[in-house]
Amino acid sequence: MSSEDDVGGEAPGGSFWEAGNYRRTVKRVDDGHRLCNDLISCFQERAKIEKNYAQQLTDWSHKWRTAVEKGPQYGTLEKTWHAFLTAADKLSEIHLEVRNHLAGEDADKIKAWQKEAYHKQMIGGFKETKEAEDGFRKAQKPWVKKLKDVETSKKNYHLARKDEKTAQTRENHAKADSSISQEQLHKLQERVEKCAQEAEKCKDQYEKMLEELNRYNPRYMEDMEQVFEGCQEAECKRLCFFKEMFLDLHQHLNISTNESFHALYRDLYQGIVAADDQEDLKWWRNTHGPGMAMNWPQFEEWTLETQRPISKKAKSSKSAEDVMLTSIVPTRDGVSQTPPQTRRGGGKEDVSEWSDDDTPKKCLDANGHEEDVKVPGVQVRALYDYTGQEADELSFKAGEELTKISEEDEQGWCKGRLCTGQVGLYPANYVKRVGS
C-alpha cells in the first residue's frame, strides 16, 4: 500500500497528528455548509408556526366578534370584550411580521453568506474542502513516508530478535542433548552469532529511521499547524456569523421589545378599566326599562276625516327583516338610547293584542277593500334616526319634524309627510307628538 493510500484511508480515532486524522477537520468544512441549510430549515419551520398562530388568532377574533355582536352582552362591557378581540388582531399582525423576518430577511441573509463562503466545484464538493484536503495531504505526506520507514525497520528489528531467540533456544537444547554431534552444535552456535549480528544491524537501522522521523517532526507539526489555522480561520468566520444570526433571530422573536406589542396591551388595559357597570345599567334602564319613551294613549275625537282610508302598504314577498339603525342619539340624561327594532310583514316580533277600542279604525273604499283611516295632520318629532329600507318609506334624522297623516296600522307603521312634501311610511314608535 502506498503512502497516499495510507493517508487517504478512513480517519481512525486518536491524535490529530496521526496519519489521516486531519480528515475530521476537513469534514468540518462540509458540515459548515450543511449547518447553514439546517439553520434555514429550522427557522423556516418556526416561521410557519408564527404564521399558523397569527391565522388562529385572526380566526378566533372573527368567530367571537360575531358571537359577541349577536349575543346578549351590552354596553361598556361589550366594548371591553371587543377590546380583547381587537388586541388579538393586532397581535396577529405582530406575529406575521415575525414570520416575514424569519422566512424572508433572515433566510436570505444566511443563503447569501453561505454562497459567499462555500464555492461548489464542477466535479462535486466544495473548493474550500479540496484546498484543506490538499494542504493537509501535502504537509503530512513526507512525515507519513518517514513513519512508514520507521514501521518497516521496527518490524525487521523485531523479526531479527525473534530469530536470534529461536537460535539460542535450539543451541541450549542441543547442549543438553548428548546425541547431537559437535559439528551440529558448532553450526547452531554460528547461527546464533549470525542472528545476533543481523539483529544489531536491524536495530541500528531502526534507530536511524526513528531519529530521522523525530528530526522531521517539528517541520511536520509546523506545516500541519499552518493548514489547520487556515481551517480555523474559516470556521471562526462561520461561528461569528452564526452568532450574529442568532442575535438577529432573537431580536425578531423577542416581541417584548416591540412598541406595538406594549401599546396593544396598554390599549387593552384601558379598554378593561373603562368598563362601567353603572353606565351599563343606566343604558339598559333607558333602552329596555322604565326610562324608555312611551306614546301614552290620548283622547282622539271622532271625525269623518279620520275614517278616510289610505292604502295599506303591500306586504313584502321577502322574509321579514329588521330595520337598519343609522345612529343612536342621547336622551336628556346623557345615556345613549337605542331605537326599538321594528319589523314589517310576518316578523317574529311580539306584538301586544289590540282591544276592539284600540284597533285602528277601518273603512271600505269604492272597491270594498279595507284601508287605514286618515287623520288630520298631526306634527310629530323623530326620536331616532331612520333610513328607509324600501322606496315607499321615509328617511329622517332624530329631532326632525314631520306630519302624521294616518293612524298606526296593526304592524306598527304610520303614513307621514316630510317638510319637503315627500309622503311615505315610517315606524310609529320612532316619533312622538310635538308638545306631548
Q: What is the mean pLDDT of residues 59-78?
A: 94
Region of poorest pLDDT, from 11-20, 194-203, 221-230? 11-20
Three-state SS string across the chain, please?
CCHHHHHCCCCCCCCCCCCCCCHHHHHHHHHHHHHHHHHHHHHHHHHHHHHHHHHHHHHHHHHHHHHHHHCCCCHHHHHHHHHHHHHHHHHHHHHHHHHHHHHHHHHHHHHHHHHHHCCECCCCCEHHHHHHHHHHHHHHHHHHHHHHHHHHHHHHHHHHHHHHHHHHHHHHHHHHCCCCCHHHHHHHHHHHHHHHHHHHHHHHHHHHHHHHHHHHHHHHHHHHHHHHHHHHHHHHHHHHHHHHHHHHHHHHHCHHHCHHHHHHHHHHHHHHHCCCHHHHHHHHHHHHCCCCCCCCCCCCCCCHHHHCEECCCCCCCCCCCCCCCCCCEECCCCCEECCCCCCCCCCCCCCCCCCCCCCCCEEECCCCCEEEEEEEEEEEEECCCECCCCCCECCECCCCEEEEEECCCCCCEEEEECCCCCEEEEEHHHEEECCC
CA proximity to 156, closest of 204, 216, 217, 214: 204
**At residue 138, does pLDDT exceed 80?**
yes
pLDDT over 90 percentage in the chain: 64
pLDDT of the residue at 177: 82
Tell me the per-residue pLDDT of 307-332, one tens digit each, with 9 for 90 and over. 555 444 444 444 444 444 444 444 44
pTM of the entire structure? 0.59
**At residue 338, does pLDDT exceed 90?**
no
Q: What is the mean pLDDT of residues 182-200?
A: 89
Tell me the per-residue pLDDT of 121-130, one tens digit each, with 9 for 90 and over. 998 899 999 9
pLDDT of the residue at 322: 46
201, three cell numbers: 544491524
